[in-house]
Amino acid sequence: MSVRLKVCGMARPDNLRAVAALRPDFLGFIFYPKSRRYAAPTLTPAAAAAVPASVQKVGVFVDEDTAVIQERIAEYDLQAVQLHGSETPETCGLLRATGVAVIKAFAVREVFDFERLRPYVGVVDYFLFDTAGAQPGGNGTAFDWKLLQNYALPVPYFLAGGLAPEHAETLRNLRLPGLFALDLNSQFETEPGLKDAGRLDTFFKELRTQ
């Protein structure tokens, strides 16, 4: 399985240590106060600092002021930012120029116009495709992945939206142009912000089985 793995919505120090020990490629911390997985009240910078260096730390933001994002980058030693709002290509480029990787998220419905992504080519490192829903992310439902079969842009992407344990075999054999990483969140939780490390461990092993 060459596709990378990201676990998003980490919010508690003990749970963070357990999931980090599984060695995902990315761990996501949500810095959006309206999210049920808002990390800042419970996850300290010291807890984040204990994450192994091989695991990249991603801060998730929704239409946040760039100065605040930069504060979080420094505070939590983030290697990437994931933007889930209406952030412009100019904002993405400014953040990327600071040295972090930029992931720009887009909500997908029954149809999706990939031409709207072209202004972001060259100013982001990755796209992220998530299922449209009531919240900017973490809605727990999957969209039709066949929409990505004709993806032709040069920017690799994260696949998100309701990825669950029962999808392991399908995802292991999934061949989509541009697919870079799988983003796991609500379907591996016992409650918002608390991941089931055992279920994640089993899922990782199933995905990495050739």
| Residues carrying an active site annotation | 8, 130
Q: Are 132 and 153 in contact (CB under 8 A)?
A: no
Q: Quick one: tokens of 7?
A: 């676990």
Cβ atoms within 10 Å of 200's Cβ, excluding its own: 19
Per DSSP, the chain holds a count of helices (H) and strands (E) of 6, 10
Residues 6+ positions from 191 with CB-CB distance below 8 Å: none
In which region does residue 49 sit, left (phi positive, over 0), alpha (psi from -120 to 50) or beta (all else)?
Answer: alpha
Q: Are 10 and 29 in contact (CB under 8 A)?
A: yes
